[in-house]
Amino acid sequence: MEESSASAPLWVGRFEQPMDGAAWALNASLDVDRRLALEDVRVNQAWAEALHEAGVLSAAERDAIVAGLGGIAHEFQTGTFGFQAGDEDIHTAVERRLRELVGPLGGKIATGRSRNDLVATDFRLWLMGQLPHLEGALIQVQMALLAQAESSGDVYLPGYTHLQRAQPVLLAHWWLAYFWMLERDRQRLGDLYPRVAVMPMGAAALAGAGFPIDREKLAQRLGFLAVSPNSLDAVADRDFAAEFLFIAAMLGVHLSQLAEMIVLFTSQEFGFLELPDAFATGSSLMPQKKNPDIFELTRAKAGVLLGHLTALMTVLKGLPLAYNKDLQEDKPQVFAAVDTLLALLPVLAAALRAISINANRMREAVSAELMATDLADYLVEQGLPFREAHAVVGQVVRQALALGRPITDLNEQTLKAIHPLLNQDALVVFDPVQSLARRNLSGGSGPHAVAAQVQAARAALAQRYVPGLGETMRSKRTSEP
């Protein structure tokens, strides 16, 4: 049989007519999957080794193929690889170039493998390489939150439920709430890693390669932790991509919640926080404006990230076993989510660090009513059941509202009339510092508890959940073709 021409599709033998031009363009995925170029070369090199060990390639053939692929990697790294109009996807391009460089021998690399197992293997390797970068970027944001917490001292502000002032909390406690959300996202990235690091190679198109490939050895060579246990599942499984997109969406939701509070807190109505000039924008019309665009975009990215998750889940729904071309729609979603996060996280980290606080505005917002629960707790200490205490304090609040006076202005006579246990000395509970001091149980918003929390956050940051860049995972994002 003749070697097919360099630019013909890989399936040329079966067909009489060339493919319709527009259909060809729709079918092609090179614009997206060229980002897998270096992974594709690495997998092919390891595959050549495995073919040699399985007795398919002689040592000389293996060496020629591995060297040819090395040349291709060099072309990708130096930006000199020439893509051709007939390159349907990255796998086609690499194989076409290999045949140009080493002749018909290059066609032997396709033995026992399909683009179905190849693309899944490349894609997983690529994501394995990105997870450490994502964890690193996430750590930067956590460090910014921790730095804010550490520099906020004894500043307190109202904590909210239903966006109504509820009880005083330390500002450090407020910043750290977001720290722990991101800590869980980082843990999720680490939990995901072993499910990404499962090697499909050897599954071939769907039924497994027809040659005795040592898959464990191949997996080890490529830096995978395990081999897929079922060839049908191996080429169809995109759980790892969907799980990643969930983590990205969850992280996006956390960041959007933080961003929303910063948008609120930097508004003149709140005035709790001040945007740094370097991370704010102005208005083209209103000279006085200072707008929180960066945080508004952060808020919006959650929607975009959730869209990627929804898109992939919907693509996967109802697919018959095993590979279907629908699966080609997996990569744009994951690539876009990674790009969004790696663009967003560093900006957010720097912006959060540079935010300044208006401690007086925060303190002023903590009016006496926010300590109503403390007054109920005081009555509990005098032996009243909490339910009754709650009702008594409710009457106190109502009385103050009726008189149009702060709760702290009520005199002993008025208080005693509401309940005999309400002495003047009960009014000490209206000190926010006292209120915070009562909340030093672990995880509470009291100063000692928060100091311990800061230590716990520091210790958490010293942990890495995603395995670092291993020997086989040195490919930097910057060297992507």
Which residues here bind ligand ARG, judged by CB under 6 A?
A: 29, 33, 89, 115-116, 119, 323, 325, 327-328
- My answer on whether omega of the bond before 359 falls inside 30° of 0, hence cis, is no
Q: Enter the DSSP assignment of 424.
A: G
Q: Which is nearer to ligand ARG, 29 or 148 (CB)?
A: 29
Q: What is the DSSP letter of 10?
A: T
Active site annotation includes 52: no
Least distance from ligand ARG to the Cβ atom of residue 337, Å: 17
- Residue with smaller CB distance to ligand ARG, 30 or 389: 30
Whole-number Å distance between alpha carbons of 426 and 374: 9
CB of 328 to ligand ARG, least distance (A): 4
Q: Which of 7, 151, 267, 283 is catalytic?
A: 283
d(CA 38, CA 42): 6
Q: From the CB of 141, what's the least distance to ligand ARG, in Å?
A: 32
Q: Which is nearer to ligand ARG, 33 or 135 (CB)?
A: 33
Nearest residue to 165 (alpha-carbon basis) of 372, 406, 360, 357: 372
Cβ-based nearer residue to ligand ARG, 28 or 370: 28
- State in angstroms the smallest separation of the CB of 316 from ligand ARG: 13
- CA-to-CA dists, residue 359 to 43, 159, 362, 462, angstroms: 56, 14, 5, 30
Residue 283 annotated in active site: yes
**Which residue, 123 or 174, is less far from ligand ARG as judged by CB?**
123
Q: Give dist(CA 346, CA 140) in Å, integer.
A: 7
Nearest-CA neighbor of 96 among 23, 56, 44?
44
Considering the complex, what minimum distance in angstroms separates the CB of residue 245 from ligand ARG? 16
CA 440, 443, 448, 450 dihedral sign is negative
Quick one: which of 76, 95, 81 has its CA closest to 9? Answer: 95
Looking at the annotation, which residues are catalytic?
162, 283
